[in-house]
Structure formats: structure tokens, C-alpha cells
Amino acid sequence: MRSLSTPRARLHRGFWAAFAIVLALLGARPSQAEDLALADVVRLALANNERSRIAELSHESAEAAVARARAGFLPVLNLGANETLRPGAVEQNGRLVARSNAAAATLTVNQPLLVVTAFPLYAAAKHSEQAARYDETNERRQLCFDASRAFFGLIAQQRVLTAAQHRLERAEATLSDTRARAEAQLVSVNDVTRAQVDRASAAQSVASAQGALEQARVSLAYVINAEVEGSARLPDQELTNFQLDMAPLSNVALATRPDLAASREAASAAAASADEPGLRFIPTLTASAQGRTADQTVVGDRYIDTTLTLNLSWSIWDAGVRAADARSRSAAATSATLEVQALRRRIGADVAAAIAELTAARASLAAAKEGLDAANRNAEETTVLYRQGLAKAIELVDSNLSRFDAEIALAAAQLSVRQAELDLRAAMGLFPIDGIQ
């Protein structure tokens, strides 16, 4: 017998050991891919989805509008220069009046001194920038909830597929057992046919569940803008670890909801903008300083000339534009205020509806657990009775189908609780997960 201690044997043994390690590492990858948690999905959505960047750019645009409104208080500096060419020099009485070329430069500074209309416009721009900031937060928040709902939808379809596969396994086992009993002439051929029908229905359920699972995977991949590999894992902890008390939760929602804060800022911006038309009747005062220089005399024998000008402008009558703008902006401000009031009432209704939804979902989950326990006992008892010849094949098929329906109902109830928790957090103005914004 050949000894295993030879160099060739040791090399052979080392090769297979290395090969086993590689297989182990490759086999570990799917387990890592299966750990798709809710926090991972939310982070991917915030990092990859275009909606997050679009919301950020909208806020940047509002910041630029504030800088533009601030320009109404700051000086404007203009520099101009020119070079003039003539066919020839101009002389008069033997004296050079104008050369064939002339260069000149002008520096002008315009400074608003009293432009009262700039104040409400600047205030409106700042409120609009704050509204855009809250809108950005709210858009990111909604994106997180869309990703979370798609994530829970994937989990739901995973569980439906698992239940369908269990049903198919039980149907195949029942069909095999029924065939054996039919060959032993313990049951009729009709029982085999019935088992075959149940097995075909179970296979159809598996195919349908696989298709739905792929659709859910595509939906989640679209939201997070990344490939979804492996399976999703349902969070172990509750998403709402607080008491379902209407008054405190409503107060939190009113203080936290970014869409309400954005609506308030938008109303303030509309109110400030509505003040501007009435201030147009006040005269405006500006100062202008100018310095000119040229390569030939500008004034008298001087090559540099400076001036300082004060400008007073008073728009006494503007053909009714001021009054029309005042009515329009006043209506817009009133409308924005009413929208804030409506949103406050909507938030209270959202919180109340979310509390009712979560309460009902928890009760439904408890009932679904009881239903699954009863369905499992019924299936086991019916199987025993069928093997003893005390139950018919149709009763066995019905018990297995009832157990499948109970498994689906339990999975749906568990996901309904998570969805209700998401809805409550959304109504309160929170993100799906604490610490991720």
C-alpha cells in the first residue's frame, strides 16, 4: 500500500485542502448577500437615488435666490473702456485738437441708499430658502419610506414563495403516499387524482410566487438604484417603541413634520412678498460715483474727472400695476396660510389613522398566529385520520390548503404590522430608522 507521507501525497493533500477553503469562501458569499437589512436599503436609496440629489439642488437654487435678493442692498461696480480710431489727426489753428486714436476708461459705482422694497423681497427669499431646506428633508424622508415599503414588499413575496414551496412539498408527499395506498387498494384512484390536482395547484402557486418575487426585487432595485442580491431580513425590533397616545404623538408630529415647517416658511415668504407692492410708493434714493480718465484732456486741462450723483425716484402712478400686484400677492398669502391650517388638521388625522392602523394590525397578527396554530393541528390530525382511513383525500387536501392560507395570512399580518409602524413614523415626521436621515 502506498504511503500518504510521500511528498507527492502531501502535495495532493494540500491541493485539496486549498480547494476546500476556496469552496468555503465562495459558499460564504451568498450568506453575506442574504443579510439585506432595512438600514442598508435606506442608506443605498439616499446615496444612489436621483431624487435625493434633485432635492439638494432645489435647495441650492433657493440659496442662490437669497444671494440675488441680498444684492439689492450692495453696491454695483462697473468698469468700461474704449479705443477710438480716426482716419487722421484733427488740427485747428495749428493746434492738435484730436489725435488719430483716443483711449478712455470709466469706473462707476452705484449704491442703493433707500430702497425699501428690497427688505420684503429679501425676507421672502430667506423664508423660501428655509422652505426649500425643509422640502429637501421631506423629499429625502419620503424616499426612505418608499425604499422601506419596497423592502417590506420584497420580504412579503419571499415569505409567500416559502409558504408556496412548503405547500408543494406537502402536496408531493401526499401524492406519493396516496399512490402507495392506492396500489395497496386502501384508497380509490380518485384520491390519487385529487392529490395530483392539489400538486398541480401548488406548483402553480410556486411559479406565481417566484414571478411576484422577481417583480418585488426589480421594484426595490429601482428605488435604491443598485442590484438586489440574496434575500431581505425583517427587522427584529419594533419601529415604534412608544405608547400609542394620540395627544403626545400629535404634538410630536406638529413639531417634527418637515412638510409642515416648509408650509409655514412658504406662508411667511408669501406674506413678506405681499408687503412689497405697497412699499413701491415710497421714493427710492441711490448714489452714483463715477471716475473717468483718458489719454487726452477730459475737462479743461485735466485727464481725470470724478463725479458724485444722488438720484431720487418716486413712482407716483404706475398705471395700476402696484394695486394689482398687491391684490394678487395678498390672495396668495391668504391661500398659503389656509394651506398651513389644512395641513395641521391633516397631520392630526394622519396620526389618528396610523394609530388605528397599527392597533388593528397587531390584533390581526395575534389572530393570524392563532389561526396558523389551529391550521397546523388540523393538518396533522387530518393526516393521521387519513392514514387510518377515517378521512377522505379531499379533507386532507383542504387541510393542507388551509395551512398554506394560514401561513400566507401570518406573513401578511407580520408585514402589515411593519407597514403600520412605517405609516405612524411617516405621520409623525420621523425617518424609517432613527439615526439615518
Q: HEC states along 299-319? A: ECCECEEEEEEEEEECCCCCC
Burial class (CB in 10 A: 0-12, 13-18, 19+), 362: middle
- Note the pTM of the prediction, 2 decimals: 0.80
**At what angle are helices 118-183 and 38-48 packed, to 10 degrees?**
140
Domain residue spans in the chain?
A: 37-74+116-281+323-427, 76-115+284-315
- Per-residue pLDDT reduced to its tens digit, 22-31: 333 344 333 3
- Tell me how far apart the alpha carbons of residues 284 and 287 are, in angstroms, rounded to a whole number: 10
H/E element, 104: strand 101-114
* Residue 310 binned pLDDT confidence (cut-offs 50, 70, 90): very high
User: Higher pLDDT residue, 304 or 300?
Assistant: 304
| pLDDT of 193 above 50 | yes
- Give the sign of the dihedral formed by CA 390, CA 395, CA 401, CA 407: negative
pLDDT band, residue 89 (cuts 50/70/90): low
The reported pLDDT for the residue numbered 15 is 43
239 vs 179, which has greater pLDDT?
A: 179
Cell of 430: 420621523
Distance between CA atoms of residues 148 and 436, nearest Å = 12
* 22/436 Cα distance (integer angstroms): 37
Domain 37-74+116-281+323-427 has CATH 1.20.1600.10: yes
> How confident is the model over 259-302, as pLDDT tens digits?
999 999 999 999 999 999 999 999 999 999 999 988 777 777 78
**Confidence band, pLDDT 50/70/90 cuts, at residue 32:** very low
The answer, yes or no, to whether residue 2 has pLDDT greater than 70, is: no
Q: Tell me the pLDDT tens digit for each residue of 99-120.
A: 667 788 999 999 999 999 999 9
Compute the average pLDDT of residues 83-93.
67
pLDDT-derived band at 241, boundaries 50, 70, 90: confident
